[in-house]
Structure 1
Amino acid sequence: MNENALQPSENFKKMAARSVQAIWLFVLTYLLLVSAAVGLTILSAFAGLMLIAAKPMFITIMLGGGLICFGVLILIFLVKFIFKVNKIDRSHLTLVTKEEQPGLFKMIDEIVAEVGTDFPKKVYFSSEVNASVFYDSSFWSMFLPVRKNLHIGLGLMNTISIDELKAILAHEFGHFSQKSMRTGSYVYNVNQVIYNTLYENEGYGNFAQKLAGISNYFAIFVVLAGKIISGVQFILKKIYDVVNLNHLALSREMEFHADTVAASVAGSDALITALHRLQLADYSLNNVFNYYNGKIKDKEKTNNIFPQQKFVMDFYAGLQKIKIENHLPIVSEEHYSKFNKSKLTLKDQWSSHPRTADRVEHLRKLNYPLKSYGTGIAIDLLVNKDTVFEQVTKKLFDAIDYGNSPIISDAGKFEEDFLENQRQNTFHQLYNGYFDFRNPLNELNSEDFEKPGLSIHLHANNFFSDENLSLIYLLDGINEDLNTLKQIEDKVFEVKTFDYDGKRYTQQDCSELIERLESESKDLDDQLKKLDAQIFEYFLYLALEQGRKEEFVNFYNHYKAIRTLLESQNNCHNKITQVTSFMHTRTAVETIEQQMYLVKDEEIVFKEELLKLLTNPLYGEHITAIDKEQIEKFIASNYNYFAGGSYFNFQVDELFDSIRLFAKIINDTNFNAKKRLLDFQVTLEGVNSTANKKPVTI
């Protein structure tokens, strides 16, 4: 291993120094607060005891006891973090030993030796697409040595190569590779102390409430202590921002340092290719999870989710034309970034990790050669991998109650259902994803269905090329950048400088840049609208040529009728969702009672929209008998939702169930109408393709 890889960069040292300075600021402030709290506690205890001694009677005993509690409460608030232990939930983890998996532990041994760090205390498997080092921490772990545990997700090992696994594990050990790296650990723990003092106060709050419940005399002093604690929190919040911002800046440098260690151990490309594939691997596993979440009601589960994850990943790789090498998709840098056309670069001071693009750029500059550890997928390192897969899968599903006789589904059924779901819920590959982001032309009248202006023979690939698709991504990127720039101009968040398309700008430059981007956005939008019109005319021409104009018009009018209603339906859904959002959070009784007037007003409009769904034949196909019964029951109801300081849970549940059902019906109906139109156009193109017409450029 390159020894320089272990040396922190100058920027790392600078961020570490700033973090230490922020910590000292906290320590000095905290010591002053504690000293004041100790003094106040002694003073209030003395005053309380003197009051009781002066005239022992019920009222003086209560007031004296309240005074003593007043000081103690403030002191406890400031020192309660000492007793806080942050324990990592291990219920989803499976312990693995060297005897069980010698191949994996051999790799870990070699990495540990090369990096020069300690071997993990324990190694665990999970189902995740992730790897991490973790430990139970407390205030005392800043001063006492704590051995770390290694967590490896099988969802990760199932989708990366052996070389990539080595790079990822080396990255994790890189975080603890040098004594100087302990600065980051120390800052993290102090950050946890401040966070606990500010935000983790449920237990303390319960204790204070019980104390206040003893007597009204005690309650007076509990309220007074609360006022002082609010002032202490105000001071600590200001310092927390300083400490946390410096901690996050250091965390980003720690990631770059760990990447340097990983690249030195395994090679730059090993980590780069893994970083590019992780999003696809995680998305694929979540697809499998979502499938089985939908099967809970049918008591259906599987013994092994991981071949299904691999199937989904390979499917999407094929769909997106990603090449496969050694049984793994090679997600290129171009593919990874093609969906993100933003040219705006901000220094995200609240992020703990650098952007993937920045990490890749850093690794490219290092340019460490690949040190091949072995060929194959990382999961091949495991002994009896199918048994391990099943153990981890079982632990995953054990958290769900399937009753006495769950149905065990095989991979074949999953694959069949997955492909059928793709067929029903995605648009034909002919469109190359174009209509995933845009809708067919909607502002049409009867004259538009007459003779089309486009009357030359073409193929659909002239319209749905990657080049035209990139226009959509570019427009989205510009609009996203515009939104951010307007927030910078309005000082929604403070940014001194930023980069756009590789050039440095200041806040004062926003107005000119916004004007330029708005012009570019309009030009792109006009270009895409022109393309939409050409697509419509192209398929209209095919329909006329094939004598299927009436079918084409019917599909279009059906889609247009539903699309026309969608905007008002979405507005209704957004309003009822917005006015009921407070019901998901802890809210003061007075606020709830006031907000309920708005809920009841908006409920009237919402019920009217639900009734329109029931009476409009356009939506009948997507409203089941059970759905209809639920909607009719809700429309006929006159719920209060809240009274006497408490929610009526069953009424609230029915409200939110109806909101979700409304959204599902309108979205399913719109999607189905759009898909039917697009599928019909595919049949027109199918005939066109068999006519052996030479494609031309438009």
Structure 2
Amino acid sequence: MSNSYQANPTPADPVLPSPAPLLQRQLLKVTSFIALFFLVYVLLLLGMAGLGAAFITGGIMLATAMHRVLAIITALPMVLLGAMLLAFPSRFVFGRKKRPYAYRALLQRSEHPQLFAFVAQLAAITRTTCPEKIFAVPGMQATLLPPGSLLRLAGARLEIGLGLVNSLNRGEFRMMLARTLGHCSQRSVQLGSFIGAQHQRIYYMLYESGTWHNHLVSRAMQHLLLHPLGRIATGIAGGMQFLLRKLYQLIHQAYIPLSREMELHADAIGCSIAGSEAAISALRRAEVGGACFEHCLHKLPLLAEKQLRFRNLYAAHRTYLHHYALQNGLALDAARLPVVTDAYLESFIKSQVQFRQQGAAQPDREEREQRCQAAAVVQETATGSAWELFHNPAGLQETMTAMIYDRGLPAHGSYHWYTPQELLTELEQQYRQLAFPGAFHQYYDNRPFTALTAACQQPLAEAELSRHSMASLYAPAYARQIRQLFRNRQDAATLQAIAAGEIRAGAFEFRGQPYPAASAGHLLDILQADIAQQEAWLEAQDHLAFRVHYSRALHQGRGQAEDLLQKYRRVLQHQEKAQLLETQVSRIIHCTGDLFGATGITMEQARPYFDILEAESARFRQLLQELWQNPELANAWEPELRQKTGRFLQQPASYLDSGIPLVTAIQLLHEICVTVPEHYHHYITRLQQQYLAAALALEVPGLQTTAHGAAPGR
């Protein structure tokens, strides 16, 4: 691969977009709140330090003035309490959050001259101080870590996610780096980045730092004589924490629109340099590439259990990208990257309930695309791979992969390499196992079959039967209508939660129009009426489709029709069992969550939790036993799952032994609860495939019932 770098044609002195007035107003507002926070913060620390000093001084004066045992006994707690109070300010002043740098590799200018020249050019165009160091990190982000002070501009560090590089061409990579540098391109935006760092620092101090439960007070709470002093000190610190958290809420509410405007401004800078087309394509490919990269990361521990590893995680990522593009009908460009089209994005059904009125720290991709499209910046886009800017890309990718394994999944014993071709074979096999025939146009994908009525077994008249075909029964538009129904059900649950006060929202948007929270109940009635109409249409369409297939089967004989009916009924039977199993599994997971989420309780207090767990486990065991007795179903499970299931069914349904929790037994229960429903759904999918294959053979005799062009059934 060539490493020659040719700069994109860019105006010598491009006009960067100015920060929006809203950004400047929010910046002033957040700065004022943060200044108020630190003023109150300092006053509280001084007050606590003064109170601690007063207790220590008073105790010492009392002990030296009276020279009596009772006075000394009284003075000692005062001195100790004062020391505890002084410990809090010292921890606040010197406590700092250290950012973890476990997964990053320093890139040398001598090894990657094209990359450093590329970044230097962008820094000059964006009028940003060139980063002092560049690091490679595993994921999908490009981050500029500014120096800790506005007075010191040098020393910024740039982190580049190799997953992002793997997902973009060079023009799109230019856009993403330009928007990253754009966070520090102008004085007001640079101040906004500094304010964002302070926002994170305050959050860490109030919600994640251990300074509120410092060592001294924790030790004191463990001793009977010092316990009252520890409670007093902790109570005073808790009062400080309560007040500062209230101030932080003001900061956070003001920071949300500021962060949003800063992201949009960074997009505008990237768009002005790379062009609108590259900016929109970069946003789309970063979203798709991120989803595929997450899949690859999720695969790592699963492979590690089988003593398998990727030599190059990014080669596997690219393989998954190609597979994803093929299954979703996306073409590959010259750089072998998916071309994410409007038609692909429109296939996703978006929620009708949005909370934009509440503010969001990050604008969604659709809004960012609209801004870039409106900018209408025309630039020539470099279509080569972004890896052209790096020296020895494969070596860097393998180094980062080894770092991920060494620090996240260290090897215990020998292992074997899992190649991208083996990954592709596995993905294609899974796809074939779960995909429905393409002639159904995703009509049955990701949903259960509808229950039949007696009328469904009434054969259609010949004239009516001749009017129906696969094209009319399973029109491609029907799949979108069905997805809209399921999306509406989710939106109805959201509106119900708003109406019940479970989701606190002053206002929200429904179908693009703003509404107060009080309107949720009325809108829910409207949406439920739509859902009822959609459900009636789907039920009627499902029944019609079955009657058509059943009638055609009757033409070939009663036995053919009965076989088709039994295949359908078999799916319904197992769907009902799967629903019962899922309900019981969710109860057990909820129960274990309550059990292990309860803190500060004794075993005697925890015993009711164990009683509930054992009762729910017994019901789950009964359902599992029924499945286990089905040889066809049990034999379809993986050997490891069969072994675990057999061991689970043989062990006693008890999770306490002489008052001691049986952690291993609870872990086995949890593993079975997570794994069995997934395997059962795969089995039901195969039953659905058998019915659909039989129905398709009736409509088009001799047709190959392949899943070409179809999405996975589950």
What's the TM-score once normalised by structure 1's chain length?
0.89
1:339 matches 2:348: yes
1:128 matches 2:139: yes
Letter in 2 for 1:192: Q
Q: Is the 8 A contact 1:158 1:379 kept in 2?
A: yes
Quote the Cα distance in structure 1 between the aligned partners of 2:501 and 2:241.
26
Residue 391 of structure 1 is matched in structure 2 by: 399
Q: Is the 8 A contact 1:135 1:147 kept in 2?
A: yes
Residue 518 of structure 1 is matched in structure 2 by: 528
Q: Is the 8 A contact 1:460 1:685 kept in 2?
A: yes
Residue 412 (structure 1) shift: 2.4
Distance 1:56 1:120, change over 3 A: farther
Distance 1:320 1:173, change over 3 A: same
1:311 matches 2:319: yes
Taking the TM superposition and a 5 Å limit, the aligned residue runs for 1:197-276 are: 197-202=205-210, 205=213, 207-212=215-220, 215-276=223-284
Taking the TM superposition and a 5 Å limit, the aligned residue runs for 1:23-62 are: 23-54=34-65
**Aligned counterpart in structure 2 of residue 20 of structure 1, from 16, 27, 31:** 31
Letter in 1 for 2:353: L
Quote the Cα distance in structure 1 between the aligned partners of 2:654 and 2:304.
30
Distance 1:118 1:388, change over 3 A: same
Secondary structure at 2:269's aligned position in 1?
Answer: helix
Residue 575 of structure 1 is matched in structure 2 by: 587
Q: Is the 8 A contact 1:133 1:150 kept in 2?
A: yes
Q: Is the 8 A contact 1:272 1:363 kept in 2?
A: yes
**Aligned counterpart in structure 2 of residue 440 of structure 1, from 445, 449, 457:** 449
Secondary structure at 1:498's aligned position in 2?
Answer: strand
Secondary structure at 1:687's aligned position in 2?
Answer: coil
1:549-575 deviations in Å (ceiling 9; x for gaps): 343233223212211212222221111
Distance 1:515 1:507, change over 3 A: same
Which structure 2 residue ranges, 5 or more long, are not aligned? 1-10, 706-714
**Aligned counterpart in structure 2 of residue 324 of structure 1, from 332, 348, 364:** 332
Quote the Cα distance in structure 1 between the aligned partners of 2:296 and 2:628.
34
Residue 616 of structure 2 is matched in structure 1 by: 602
Farther off after superposition, 554-563 or 536-545:
536-545
Q: Is the 8 A contact 1:346 1:498 kept in 2?
A: yes
Taking the TM superposition and a 5 Å limit, the aligned residue runs for 1:430-469 are: 430-444=439-453, 448-452=456-460, 455-456=465-466, 458-469=468-479
Q: Is the 8 A contact 1:300 1:408 kept in 2?
A: yes
Residue 619 of structure 1 is matched in structure 2 by: 633
1:503 matches 2:513: yes
Q: Is the 8 A contact 1:157 1:379 kept in 2?
A: yes
Residue 101 of structure 1 is matched in structure 2 by: 112
Secondary structure at 1:575's aligned position in 2?
Answer: helix
Residue 688 (structure 1) shift: 6.7
Quote the Cα distance in structure 2 between the aligned partners of 1:581 and 1:94.
38
Residue 606 of structure 2 is matched in structure 1 by: 592
Residue 432 of structure 2 is matched in structure 1 by: 423
Quote the Cα distance in structure 2 between the aligned partners of 1:355 and 1:459.
41
Percent pairwise identity: 21
Distance 1:189 1:131, change over 3 A: closer
Quote the Cα distance in structure 2 between the aligned partners of 1:452 and 1:618.
35
Quote the Cα distance in structure 2 between the aligned partners of 1:461 and 1:84.
68
Residue 709 of structure 2 is matched in structure 1 by: none
1:652 matches 2:666: yes
Quote the Cα distance in structure 2 between the aligned partners of 1:60 and 1:539.
97
What's the TM-score once normalised by structure 2's chain length?
0.87
Residue 527 of structure 1 is matched in structure 2 by: 537
1:626-679 deviations in Å (ceiling 9; x for gaps): 5455445444325344876x7443233233233234434433433333333334
Quote the Cα distance in structure 2 between the aligned partners of 1:55 and 1:628.
79
Quote the Cα distance in structure 1 between the aligned partners of 2:100 and 2:423.
30
Residue 98 (structure 1) shift: 2.2
Letter in 2 for 1:637: P
Distance 1:510 1:201, change over 3 A: closer
Letter in 1 for 2:368: R
1:288 matches 2:288: no
Equivalent residue pairs, number: 685
Which structure 1 residue ranges, 5 or more long, are not aligned? 692-698
Secondary structure at 1:151's aligned position in 2?
Answer: strand
Letter in 2 for 1:667: H
Residue 52 (structure 1) shift: 3.1
1:454-492 deviations in Å (ceiling 9; x for gaps): 622654343444311111232233333333333333344
Quote the Cα distance in structure 2 between the aligned partners of 1:505 and 1:415.
47
Distance 1:149 1:348, change over 3 A: farther
Residue 265 (structure 1) shift: 1.0
Quote the Cα distance in structure 2 between the aligned partners of 1:331 and 1:116.
32
Farther off after superposition, 634-643 or 531-540:
634-643
Residue 177 (structure 1) shift: 0.8
1:324-374 deviations in Å (ceiling 9; x for gaps): 3333322124422431333333226463211111111121222221243x2
Letter in 1 for 2:601: V
Residue 497 of structure 2 is matched in structure 1 by: 487
Distance 1:136 1:581, change over 3 A: farther
**Aligned counterpart in structure 2 of residue 168 of structure 1, from 165, 171, 176:** 176
Residue 672 of structure 1 is matched in structure 2 by: 686
Letter in 1 for 2:30: S
Distance 1:263 1:628, change over 3 A: closer
Distance 1:52 1:611, change over 3 A: farther
RMSD: 3.1
Residue 618 (structure 1) shift: 6.1
Distance 1:61 1:464, change over 3 A: farther
Residue 113 (structure 1) shift: 0.4
